[in-house]
Amino acid sequence: MYNVLTSFNKHYWDEVASQTVKKLDENWYPGGKIYLYHELNDKDLAKAKQGLSGRVEWFDLYKTVPYLSEFKEAYKDHPKATGNGRGEWRTHAIKWVHKTFPLLSHVKKQDSGWLFWLDTDAECFKKIDDKFLKSICDESKIVSYLGRKTNYSECGFMGFNLNHPQTKHFVDTWWNIYPSGKFTEISETHDSFLFDAVRKEYRKTELFDDLNIDSTTDKNPFGNSKIGSHFLHVKGQNKKQQLAKAKRRI
């Protein structure tokens, strides 16, 4: 069982997700499910579903991840949750929990197999097969991720091994930094920085598989890692244009 998950709001769907989700549906591993946590209204949702296969499952983000609303209300005035009052992304936990909360809550739902996270602005451009999955799914590890040598990890792609008995314990540890307020004690509160903080505190480095470990640069961890043969990732503004430009280089 190899399932994949992402999340997006209406802006991201219109900008890039409508394209990347279609490619994901075309190329993801046969039999694997695709879970989409969205913020679309009924009309937009009905339109978005057109042309996609039955393996794509849709979840209303705020209805299926109820703690999201509670968290936003509880920390609406906290500088580590709102970007120090200026919306600065490194300390804007409320922005990033729209990604981490559906991911962590869905890990709790799946009993076995692997569950992958893929950022909405990343595209799967090549068929996922057994050979590729074998290269990134080490059954002795609990999480596959894209590390960097001198910076925080790139969490636009992650794999969680639900066959391993310690995976959900790690996920619970990561989840608990939010309701406990512990995330406010960490210097940066975006998803990648908090993942690294929990991973390092977990003190079991042998359980984490860095798919970018052989890279000699911190740049382009998607392209330089073991997943670069199948995925590309765009950053910043004008994502649709960037994606088209990146695909011409494949």
**Pairing status of strand 56-60 against strand 34-38:** parallel
Two tokens at 72? 């936003």
pLDDT recorded at residue 23: 96
Domain range 2-248, CATH architecture:
Alpha-Beta Complex (3.90)
Which pLDDT tens digit goes with each residue over 75-87?
A: 999 999 999 877 7
Of the pLDDT bands very low, low, confident and very high (cuts 50, 70, 90), residue 7 is: very high
Which pLDDT tens digit goes with each residue over 125-147?
A: 999 999 999 999 999 999 999 99
**Best CA proximity match to 18, nearest among 41, 42, 44, 43:** 44
**Best CA proximity match to 125, nearest among 3, 247, 2, 1:** 247
Work out the average pLDDT over 156-180: 97
Q: DSSP class of residue 29?
A: P
- How far, in Å, CA of 1 to CA of 31, rounded? 8
Query: What interhelical angle do 67-74 and 93-109 show, nearest 10?
Result: 150
